[in-house]
Structure 1
Amino acid sequence: MRFRMAAMWCWMAWFGCKAALAAEQHSAACTRLPADSKLQQFQGFPIRAIRVHSEDVFDLNADKVYWFHHLANRTHKITKPDTILEDVLFQVGDPLDAEALLETERLLRTRRYLRKVEVRVTEHCTDGSVSVTIHTWDNWSLLPNISLSREGGESKTVLGLAEDNLFGTGNQINLDYENDSERQSYLVNFRSPNLFGSHWNLNTLYADKTDGESYLLALEKPFYRLHAPWAFAFHLEADSENVNEYLRGDEINEYQRNLDLLQLSSGWKVAEAERWVQRISLGIEQHQVQFDTTEYTDYGKPEDRDLSQFWFSWHFVEADYRQLYNVYQFNRVEDINLGWQASVQLGWFQPWLGAERSGWSLQTQLDKAWQLSPTDLLIAQFRATQLQQGELEQRLASSYAMWIHQLDEHQSLVGQLTYAYGQDLFRDQRLSLGGDTGLRAYPLYYQTGERLALATAEYRYYSTLSIAQIFDVGYAAFADWGRTWGSNPALPEDSAGQSLYGIGLGVRLLSSHSSRGTMIHIDLTKALHDQGELSGLEWRILAKRRF
């Protein structure tokens, strides 16, 4: 018996040594690949290993490193490898699919907590297998949210704190305080972009406002990749707030709007090819909006509406992505899809769901981008909706185009055109110009109407200046023109009909190592007419996601 036990132990030891030696030899038979190796040349090769290599927020070997860079790295929780792997669209043992690696890279780039992502084949072994390395660079994710602006005599302040990578898990939580001419509000929001690696999203929100409250609970599994087989969404929202109506930027009427919304939908892939997919979706929603007067209601309130409906939609998505620079931001890779994207949704209003009257709605949209030359990019969008319910016949069609001409790697010219045509729009959803809607020299809602035209021209300069690895600096000079048509019959005067012009100069500070990718806009603007308080220069400081 002892002899048998000894023999068994010797055999196991010999086998273990042989296995270890074989593993060592197998590892030694792998060749390290150069960084510029093409994914396509390894198409179909089995994946033997997936490695994650994560970099901290700041490069401490760079020039001009200060004490706060060291402190930031020491106090930052690097994204956990498991968090990265939860978004990976391939597994060990799968045949390598170059498109799956590129899709994984694009998906990871949408995560705010990552500044840069590279997915590469890094080893090729003699048995024909390959190793894939996911190299990521973290963003600083604990951020203040500060926005101060003044437009047309009105000020707006936003103060808050956000954590976009809670304990390295990719979950987000933020607290905000906002104060403007309409309300003060306190907000808390928690969002998980990928629950337990299942590609389900969770979003919860509560806001306490001086004029009401807001609640949101949303659970969704989107079409997270081109060929995802199905999607699901549950959305529950309640919102109560006061809405102001304006006449040339001045508040002249107020009413309270109460929204209750419950949506449930599911979608399926029905046809596909290598670079495109068709999907259909079914949905049901209860959608009720009620209005109440306040002590400042001088010109009445809109009529209540109930748009509860059952709907069916069709979507077409073509994937033709390019990695471009200086489109919406600067100094960052941007994934721009040059493929066609189209959708049609047909809904039927149902009294058994709560709708006041039967009817139907139609929504269509079309998106396309063209790289006209190595230095020219054209992006176009079209939207159209039609709603028929009882005597209400509502229509809205809008088009948008942006042309970007790169003068060189540091300069570009950008032109944007927007046109929208509406009929019988809801009173609280009329088209408006001013402030963030495009006319930067004018206050919000300076003009409102049922038709709108807007044109902007901008010169952009992307400098090489970096302020302590905190801000990348850009500059802009711009000119805006716009006008609306169609008066509001409920108000005593007409704010539409006059063409508005404005010019300005701006500085753009891109928080290059922050998870929000926030761009601070510091603008000095001039409205080109001399009407009262708009006759002088106006300044504003805003935090935005785009240049």
Structure 2
Amino acid sequence: MVGRSEAGIRLLKRVLFGLGVALVSVQALAQAGDDGNCIASSVQPEAIDLDQPRDQLARQSDLVIPEGARIGRIRIVRRPIFDTSEPEQDNVLFRTLNTLNTPTWKSALRAQLVFDQGDSYEPGLIAESERILRRREYLTAAWVGVTRICGDEVEVSVLARDTWTLLPSFGASRSGGENTTNAGLSDPNFLGSGKSLGVSYTSDPDRTETSLDFDDPNVLGSHWQTGFSYDERSDGRGRSAYLERPFYSEQSGWRAGLRGVDDVREESRFVGAEAIADYRRNHEYASVDWGWRLAERGDRQLRLLGGYRYEAFAFERLPDEPALDVLPEDRTLSYPWIGFDYRQNRFREMVNLTRLQRVEDVRDGFVWRTELGYSSPGLGATEDRVVLNMSFSDALLASDTRYARYTLSQSGTYRLDESRVENLQGTFSLDYFHGGSVRWNSWYTNLSFTAARNLTADQQLLIGGDNGLRGYPSEYQQGNRRALWTLERRYFPDWHPFSLFRMGGVLFTDVGRAWFDDGRHNGPDNGVLKDVGFGLRLASSRIEVQRMLHLDFAFPLDGDDSIDQVQVLLRGRTRF
């Protein structure tokens, strides 16, 4: 009896084994059949050179996407900071940095995409996801494309390379004749999560400040964003927090947000490049806003916006400070507002525009945004005001070798109790780039003009080393009109020492002036100011890639005898 049972068990095992083999064979045949219906692109992420931006732009999928195709698979391909398969990058330091770095989570990369598995294939969403990834501080480069077609399904590959983000910072900069020092520790990709955390200490001519900052661009993998900052200053404090769901994509249907700020600091009033007196400013701000996508035709989109804002400014004199001629008046604005955003969602990829050897996405179209609000004492305001803010920008031309854009903006209020405008400012700006996208050198010029009317005592229109005139001290002239013209010859050599740094150079001239239209005194030299100079640019292709070191030597051609014959500006910037 026992023998028969054992024989039955052995027979059952053979049957189950045979069924298993048959099932595996059927699956293998099915897979082979599927592979036979699949077409792979000759452009695969493994072959793309992320150190050569033009190679990224040239690597476009050669597949013909069938109509009605769906996204069947999303493949995430992560590259380490250094490619140790390359002999010049295969060393102890680079291998150690790769080992210590926490790779960006695949879920963090997937959360940035504006498409998902199972969605209909839309080329615009593929391109937009690539633009979003390129904006992230923790990635040096990104590429998104279709790499495989199986019937009516496509495989989309997402290629991204990490940058070293956990970075202690110790630095000093000089601009407009004034020094700034800083130290801190920050990580915009904390433990590979895509979240940003940082602590810093800064000392400048105005104050010392210790700050703690946190930002989460995808809360729990969603498109909600949140963050806060906590600042302790020698002259006050700073607190801010926000929670919002933005228009994360051109296709998203709505947005909503909350934001709050509590900021206390001492400010200076300048006359003739000198701070004549300090006062304390207390700023409170709170807002709630929403938006809907109303209509879309082709690449043009209309959005309806609205919300409520509360903004209060309080000022007080400081002991042992010279008496101000005019202390700013306390003011509170409390108002609902409504507006619209009308835009053209058309973009172009370029190289060597404002970054060193990196792909940049520029808007080849317009954006028009307008807000109108009414602030009333019944809502807690100090007086009745109409609030109007407007901005309009458009690309004049965009080609492989040239890009031009202009911007018009206006902000201010109209006080109904005094029948006059207050803090009204309007600005026109024009930028033109020529040559950098196809050559290793380019021309850049900018022309801007700002006009202001009835500025309150805490609002000054200044010009100097901090805002465009590199050969002069900060706040050298003031007024209610300001004009500035800059011309630069930029150099972008294809030199990549140690596969770690990118270098650039610039020759420049600045011409500008700030003045009062009624002829009031505007500074030590009330005429047009000019300077010439040269500079170096240094950026890393592997470490904190969003930052660029500027070292400029500027020589003033005008001004009074108090100005140094050469201004040395050492600064950290995000653009060339």
Does the TM-score normalized on the shorter chain lie above 0.5? yes
Distance of 2:425 and 2:177 partners within structure 1: 32
Given that 1:383 and 1:399 are in contact with CA atoms closer than 8 Å, whether structure 2 keeps it comes out as yes
2:553 is aligned to 524
Q: CA deviation at 1:461?
A: 0.5
Specify the code of the residue in structure 2 equivalent to 1:331.
Q
- Secondary structure at the aligned position of 1:86 is classed as helix
Specify the code of the residue in structure 1 equivalent to 2:179.
S
Q: CA deviation at 1:332?
A: 0.5
Q: CA deviation at 1:30?
A: 2.4
1:500 is aligned to 529
Distance of 1:348 and 1:475 partners within structure 2: 49
Change (3 A) 1:114 1:152: closer
- Secondary structure at the aligned position of 1:506 is classed as strand
What are structure 2's unaligned runs of at least 5 residues? 1-7, 44-59
Instruction: Choose from 153, 158, 162 the match for 1:129.
Output: 153
Distance of 2:139 and 2:472 partners within structure 1: 36
Given that 2:461 and 2:482 are in contact with CA atoms closer than 8 Å, whether structure 1 keeps it comes out as yes
Q: Where does 1:61-100 land on structure 2 (aligned, <5 Å)?
A: 61-62=85-86, 64-65=88-89, 66-100=91-125
Distance of 2:257 and 2:353 partners within structure 1: 31
Distance of 1:164 and 1:183 partners within structure 2: 25
Distance of 1:540 and 1:386 partners within structure 2: 33
- Secondary structure at the aligned position of 1:205 is classed as strand
Q: CA deviation at 1:516?
A: 4.6
Larger radius of gyration: 2
Given that 1:148 and 1:540 are in contact with CA atoms closer than 8 Å, whether structure 2 keeps it comes out as no
Deviations 1:26-82 (A, max 9, x none): 245423211142476455322221110000111223453343212211111111111
Change (3 A) 1:144 1:528: farther
Change (3 A) 1:186 1:421: same
Given that 1:521 and 1:544 are in contact with CA atoms closer than 8 Å, whether structure 2 keeps it comes out as yes
| 1:485 to 2:515 alignment | yes
Distance of 1:436 and 1:412 partners within structure 2: 24
Distance of 2:66 and 2:229 partners within structure 1: 45
Q: CA deviation at 1:471?
A: 1.8
1:352 is aligned to 378
| 1:445 to 2:453 alignment | no
- Secondary structure at the aligned position of 1:196 is classed as helix
Q: Where does 1:4-403 land on structure 2 (aligned, <5 Å)?
A: 13=20, 14-15=22-23, 17-27=25-35, 29-35=37-43, 36-38=60-62, 41-42=65-66, 44-62=68-86, 64-65=88-89, 66-125=91-150, 127-295=151-319, 296-299=321-324, 300-371=326-397, 373-389=399-415, 390-391=417-418, 392-394=420-422, 395-403=424-432
Q: CA deviation at 1:94?
A: 2.3
Change (3 A) 1:291 1:100: same
Given that 2:470 and 2:554 are in contact with CA atoms closer than 8 Å, whether structure 1 keeps it comes out as yes
Following TM superposition, the consecutive aligned residue runs of length 4 or more in structure 1 with deviations greater than 4 angstroms are 5-12, 14-17, 491-496
Change (3 A) 1:39 1:187: farther
Distance of 2:379 and 2:29 partners within structure 1: 70
Distance of 1:539 and 1:508 partners within structure 2: 14
Change (3 A) 1:337 1:314: same
TM-score scaled to structure 2, two decimals? 0.89
More displaced 10-residue stretch of structure 1: 166-175 or 89-98: 89-98
Specify the code of the residue in structure 2 equivalent to 1:513.
R
Distance of 2:439 and 2:521 partners within structure 1: 51
Q: CA deviation at 1:138?
A: 1.1
Specify the code of the residue in structure 1 equivalent to 2:363.
N
Q: CA deviation at 1:168?
A: 0.8
Distance of 1:68 and 1:24 partners within structure 2: 44
More displaced 10-residue stretch of structure 1: 39-48 or 368-377: 39-48
Distance of 2:499 and 2:352 partners within structure 1: 19
Specify the code of the residue in structure 1 equivalent to 2:461.
L
TM-score scaled to structure 1, two decimals? 0.94
Distance of 2:270 and 2:492 partners within structure 1: 37
Distance of 2:292 and 2:259 partners within structure 1: 18
Given that 2:451 and 2:480 are in contact with CA atoms closer than 8 Å, whether structure 1 keeps it comes out as yes
Identity of aligned residues (%): 27
Distance of 2:402 and 2:507 partners within structure 1: 20
Q: Where does 1:532-547 land on structure 2 (aligned, <5 Å)?
A: 532-547=561-576
Change (3 A) 1:28 1:497: same
Specify the code of the residue in structure 2 equivalent to 1:68.
L
Specify the code of the residue in structure 2 equivalent to 1:69.
F
Change (3 A) 1:67 1:442: farther
Q: CA deviation at 1:85?
A: 0.9
Change (3 A) 1:12 1:287: farther
